[in-house]
Amino acid sequence: MKTLFVGAGSMAHALLSGAIDAKVLEKEEVYITNRSNHQRLTEVIEHFGVNGVNGGPPSNEAFDVVILAMKPKDFHDAGPVIRKFLNPGTLVISVLAGISINHIQETLAFAGAIARAMPNTSAALGKSATAITYNECLTGRQKEWTLTFFRSVGLSVEVPEEQMDLITAVSGSGPAYIYYVAELLEKAAVDFGLQKELAKALIAQTIAGASKMLEDSGLEAGTLRKNVTSPGGTTEAGISVLEEYGVNEAFLKCVDSARNRSQEIGKELVVNRMK
């Protein structure tokens, strides 16, 4: 499938890494374009051995698949350029937070197949968690290709579009929350006397082990937590402080704020398009 990535940022890089390694994408059939950061574009082209595109389709040919991976705020201005790469049979896949299928259709003046997906940057290691939703225009072959593409970079699930903003807040932004926890644990360990590299190694393995337990044990997260929280023990002492400082409430507000921001992005783009 002749595939174009519009945008050369971290998400495009992660998807390219995973899908090329899994041989779902052949680098000879992959093209990439980036509006402004030409140095970044050159770096991605050289790193993956894919093709660069400037201005319009090579040899005036359209693409089988166009993957929208720019910043959401740049989507409206990029619309006229993106249209040059489309034909009625093109599959458009968006990984843009907050932008609905309807908005993509209207901005691109495109009545064809559109899939909206929310992966995360763990796609680079084949460990993404991706939610996907579609319009009614995808053929069976296009739908199967989309599922194969995202399964090549991790777990993928089909969901109704109204759940996408919440999923963006949970798994799309989720790696950053985990990195934030790791960052704080590392800082605490170093502040109390551990060497930085030792702290980093211990914390990374602890998170990896906990993740594997969540995935393979069949137990709920709450049960796993209780299993390692002995009454009167060290874990209970630590958890009690987290509860005292309202970490539970902080995470609820964190997810709610991210979900609201995803919704706001979509609304802002609609308003800007109407100006």
Q: Are residues 182 and 253 in the same domain?
A: yes
Do 265 and 97 contact (CB within 8 A), yes or no? yes
Termini Cα distance of the chain: 37
Amino acid, res. 221: A
Chain segment 140-175, per-residue pLDDT in tens: 999 999 999 999 999 999 999 999 999 999 999 999
Q: pTM, whole model, 2 decimals?
A: 0.87
How many domains are contained in the chain?
2
Supply the range of the domain harboring residue 39.
Answer: 3-160
Chain segment 73-129, per-residue pLDDT in tens: 899 988 988 998 999 999 999 999 999 999 999 999 999 999 999 999 898 888 999
Q: Decide if 270 is inside a domain.
A: no
Q: Are residues 135 and 205 in the same domain?
A: no
Q: Are residues 93 and 182 in the same domain?
A: no
Segment holding 91, helix H or strand E: strand 91-94
Q: Are residues 22 and 74 in the same domain?
A: yes
Q: Decide if 264 is inside a domain.
A: no
Do 103 and 270 contact (CB within 8 A), yes or no? yes
Q: Are residues 127 and 197 in the same domain?
A: no
Q: Decide if 266 is inside a domain.
A: no
Q: What is the CATH number of the domain that holds 189?
A: 1.10.3730.10
Tokens 């170093």 label which residue? 190
| Residue 64 pLDDT level (bands cut at 50, 70, 90) | very high
Do 95 and 71 contact (CB within 8 A), yes or no? no
Query: What does the DSSP assignment read for 190-251?
Result: HHTT--HHHHHHHHHHHHHHHHHHHHHS---HHHHHHHT--TTSHHHHHHHHHHHTTHHHHH
